[in-house]
Amino acid sequence: MPTYLHKLMLMHAAGEKFASTSKLADYINLDPIIVRKDFELTGLKGFPGVGYKTDELIEAIRRFLGWDSPRRVCLVGAGSLGNALLGYEEFAEYGMVITDVFDADPKKIGTRIHGYPVQDVRRLPDAVKKSKPHMAIICVSSRAAQSVVDGLIACGIKAFWNFANICLKVPPDVVVQREVIAGGFALLSMKLKKHSPLFETE
């Protein structure tokens, strides 16, 4: 869905009023039937022969993903990964509003990363009580992650996007989306192995 959305926004910016399933299917390397089924999930109906109105489809996907209203998000851990995520311009298009950035490193505290001031992680409880983020992005070390998350849960945060290499333990009313960075490398390694059976001998 984010891939469709990104492409549709580029098409919309280029003045394309209609988006055909076949064009999007071609872009994303998928069968047009799958693309049509994906769009059906949003509840929007296409027009025979021309596809979907680009702006309506953008709105339908946003509604489907819950991106039709701003999502206030704080980020903990302003290392290189946190830095990369703060610099990811598409997030703003998707309704993400960064409220706070925290780190424990005295060298980083007080500096700005992509315009966001880095605050002392010890100020976290006071700061998030004011800014009330809906979600937190966890970019701290796997060792620090659970205690950081426990602290955020105590402040009322119920959704975590976890980039730390650890399975977090959270109460049942809290949702976690975990990113396993090595997962993509595993999938690619398996694809390569299947694709080149003689690869092992190289």
Please write down the long-range contacts of 145-149, taking CB distance under 8 Å and 24 or more positions apart: 148/76, 148/77, 148/121
**Please, which of residues 74-103 interact with a copy of itself by CB under 8 A?**
79-81, 83-85, 87-88, 90-91, 94, 96
* Site track 15-54 with a copy of itself (rule: CB under 8 A), x = hit: ------------xxx-------------------------
Residue 156 near a copy of itself by CB under 8 A: no
Q: Which of 71, 116, 131, 146 binds a copy of itself (CB under 8 A)?
A: 71
Q: Which of 1, 44, 153, 155 binds a copy of itself (CB under 8 A)?
A: 1
Q: How far is Cα 39 from Cα 51, in angstroms, rounded to an integer?
A: 11
Token pair for 6: 């990104």
The DSSP element (H or E) to which 53 belongs, if any, is strand 52-53
CA dihedral 52, 55, 60, 63 (to 10 degrees): 170
The DSSP element (H or E) to which 68 belongs, if any, is none
Helices within 95-180 (DSSP H only): 124-131, 142-154
Q: Which of 14, 15, 173, 198 binds a copy of itself (CB under 8 A)?
A: 173
Q: Which of 17, 33, 180, 198 binds a copy of itself (CB under 8 A)?
A: 180
User: 129 or 193, CB closer to a copy of itself?
Assistant: 193
Residue 181 near a copy of itself by CB under 8 A: yes
Q: How far is Cα 40 from Cα 2, in angstroms, rounded to an integer?
A: 15
Tell me whether strands 159-162 and 135-138 are parallel, antiparallel or unpaired.
parallel
Contact residues: a copy of itself, CB under 8 A: 1-3, 6, 27-29, 64-67, 69, 71, 79-81, 83-85, 87-88, 90-91, 94, 96, 134-135, 158-161, 165, 167, 173, 175-177, 179-193, 195-196, 199-200, 202
